[in-house]
């Protein structure tokens, strides 16, 4: 499914350190979202529960844009942090394509780096339904902005 992922392997310590940092973000707590990173550099953001604040669109039956964009941004910047070994990173550009509405049922957002340069990482994020069908896709550019581990 992710043929374009930049091949790399990260240690369990690197994965645990990133997960620990990201799970402390107030936004994830506010969204009731869970974050998971994998040894291949792919990350996943999932809502633990869907609340009325997540809903919008036509008669509130779909996940709203702010919720999706927040999850996509998290799934875009965090793989770059992993590739830059814990350094501070920031999203400088993101293009999002909404292909199908995201219903108020299980979905996940996955993100990964496709190319890494000295100070820029090119990333992809996808919103997938329970059958791994792509509902939303995004391409982004993430900038390396620092070297310490503070978010």
Cα–Cα distance measured from residue 16 to residue 4, given in angstroms and rounded to the nearest whole number: 24
Find the mean pLDDT for residues 19-39. 93
Residue given tokens 């969204």 in the structure block: 31
Q: Which of 67, 65, 64, 61 is nearest to 47 (CA)?
A: 67
Per-residue pLDDT band for 148 (boundaries 50, 70, 90) equals low
Q: Could you tell me the two tokens for 142?
A: 């993430």
Q: Where are the beta strands (DSSP E) in 19-144?
A: 33-37, 43-47, 55-56, 62-63, 89-98, 107-116, 120-129, 134-144
Q: Taking 60 as the threshold, does the pLDDT of residue 142 lie above it?
A: yes
**pLDDT (tens digit, 9 = 90+) per residue, 49-101?**
899 889 986 677 899 999 999 999 999 999 999 999 988 999 999 999 999 99
């Amino acid at each position: 499914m992710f043929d374009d992922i930049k091949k790399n392997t990260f240690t369990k310590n690197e994965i645990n350190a990133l997960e620990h940092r990201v799970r402390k973000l107030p936004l994830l707590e506010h969204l009731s979202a869970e974050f998971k990173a994998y040894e291949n550099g792919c990350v996943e953001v999932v809502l633990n529960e869907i609340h009325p604040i997540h809903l919008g669109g036509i008669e509130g039956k779909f996940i709203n844009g702010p919720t999706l964009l927040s999850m996509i941004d998290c799934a875009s910047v965090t793989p770059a942090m992993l590739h830059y070994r814990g350094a501070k990173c920031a999203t400088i550009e993101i293009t999002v394509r909404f292909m199908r509405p995201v219903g108020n049922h299980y979905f996940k957002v996955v993100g990964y780096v496709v190319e890494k340069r000295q100070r820029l990482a090119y990333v992809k994020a996808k919103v997938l339904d329970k059958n791994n069908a792509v509902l939303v896709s995004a391409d982004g550019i993430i900038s390396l902005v620092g070297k310490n581990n503070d978010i």
